[in-house]
Amino acid sequence: MWKIYLEKLLKNKLAKVGILIILILILTAIFSPLISTHNPIEGSILERLQPPSKNHFLGTDEMGRDVFSRMVYGTRISISVGIIAVGISVIVGTFLGLISGYFGGKIDAVIMRFVDIMLCFPTFFLILMVIAFLEPNIYNVMIVIGLTSWTGLTRLVRGETLSVKERDFIIAAKGLGLKKRRIIFVHILPNVIAPVIVAGILGVGAAILTESGLSFLGLGVQPPVPSWGNILTSGKDYIHIAWWLSLFPGLAILVTVLGWNLLGEGLRDVFDPRIN
């Protein structure tokens, strides 16, 4: 089946564009020391707010630091936060959704009421509130984003589990006396994993946007560590005289989120049996 899915994915033009964008970003993050033309932290005050040139492809910031090098290293932050935060979200959401959907009754009621309470709070403001009490750094940002974005996935997995557990092969597994743990993780989980993958891929783009927003507000990755969000923060103070500080990180965020969303939509089409 996975070979068939891969063939269908590679036939999807938009998904291929998404894959290309993501591969470029990942390679940029891995080889950032080789791609970077300057030290992303050190700068010269004599070269502050210089426009794009041969020496500085994307110009310099208010501290004379090379914007291109800072954006290249900022790719590491965005990719790391997106993948790790979504990984935490997927693990928590999938586990709770499986437990809630399979056992039902009081366990289901407690988990779903907790989900309802979490959904009452606007996610971004909840993240802001938690980050305000913690030290704003990349590790706390990843954990907080992951632990506040699992609710939708829990509902999705619960719904799929409620459907799958009524099928004949699950009833047969129960009749054979298999342990509940084996039924849940060996027989049910593989049958609900497709929508989880799609939701996870789409969630990476949302996590990157959230991290950029937090960094822009000064509650995410702290300077001098480069991230696209804190480059934008510098840009807002000099937008009339240094347009490149706002344009290039904004475009990077746009293209990155677009790439993950295109891949997610492509996977949704691949896993949908109604689409040939």
Q: Over the stretch 21-47, which tens digit does the pLDDT of each residue have?
A: 999 999 999 998 888 888 888 878 888
Banded pLDDT at 271 (limits 50, 70, 90)? confident
Calculate ∠ Cα 68-69-73, nearest 5°: 115
- Give the Cα separation of 125 and 266 in Å (integer): 31
Beta bridge partners of 66: 60
> And the tokens for 274?
């109604």
The answer on pLDDT for 158 being more than 80 is yes
Tens digits of residue pLDDT in 82-120 = 899 999 999 999 999 999 999 988 999 999 999 988 888
Contact in structure between 175 and 220 (CB atoms under 8 Å): no
- Give the Cα separation of 115 and 273 in Å (integer): 30
pTM of the complete model = 0.86
Mean pLDDT of 176-180: 86
The answer on pLDDT for 185 being more than 80 is yes
- Give the Cα separation of 36 and 73 in Å (integer): 8
Tens digits of residue pLDDT in 124-147 = 777 777 777 777 778 888 888 888
Task: Supply the pLDDT for residue 233.
Answer: 82
> And the tokens for 189?
């989980």
Classify the C-alpha dihedral 271-163-187-109 as positive or negative.
positive
Task: Give the chain's domains with CATH numbers.
Answer: 11-37+60-271 (1.10.3720.10)
Whether omega for the bond prior to residue 190 falls within 30 degrees of 0, making it cis, is: no
> Token match 């009524």: residue?
166
Task: Supply the pLDDT for residue 110.
Answer: 93
Banded pLDDT at 1 (limits 50, 70, 90)? low
Tens digits of residue pLDDT in 61-86 = 888 888 899 999 989 888 888 899 99
